[in-house]
Structure 1
């Protein structure tokens, strides 16, 4: 799934591999492990003005439209690039003039996730939330009954991080961090 930094040209490249088993997840409900999955690539505005940013009210409207396509929101996998606001998943360096704010030798962190993503999770309580965007926040958390995860990213250091999620016919049985 494309992220906020990806130009829209990436979409056609990804779609060109559908005949090789690559799934284009956007603008539709996709079945994964017997569960409905909805995916959304846009994020709330950032200081970087990237190609896939929208205002929170527009994010909310788009996410509501996606949820209207699923039969059972509580058994849905929600895959959004933006993490939900005010969780362990959305800590990023506080910036001043596009540079990290440092206090007593430590980078000051703040919540930068999407309020719209948080609101739809609170409202629909999907089975699990899969998120990204904030590279510094390799974390898991919970909003109501919904576990939410962000594998973060340390690709510049050669570290790959992720989550293994175990499903049963009832839903998410377990989820845990992995890295290498």
Structure 2
């Protein structure tokens, strides 16, 4: 079965939210304890509908089901559970990086190139809008994908969730026009 990449639409919201929660419940236990996994499933999986409204969020669909999702943003918010310093301000492509946001892949669809496909679409779209860099806040399960795609670690970060639970994360960046990536 082959998956097809497309822009997300508002009607995809419930399926995206369920995919994100299921993905966290499946992959986070290898990196986080039970309390952290439950908190992440609650707080980092909330769909930011501005991504869909802005036309910057993608889904892979197979046999009528969404099996992967993710996107980018031209707005000043780095990840879903963040509030400090986040706002709806549009980023300046000449001086600020576009943000990679809310990447999730269903457990039985991992390691098939879907994350790379979404990241490639994000790079192309952000480049078309004049951005020269990308930034993201990786949760630990995502770090290997992002490194393979040419992102470099900026710094480790503690990610406080609204319920007080803290997750380990990694701030990462990459130039949009990176010559090669694995």
User: Shorter-chain-normalised TM-score: which range?
Assistant: 0.3 to 0.5
TM-score by length of structure 1 reads 0.33
Larger Rg: 1
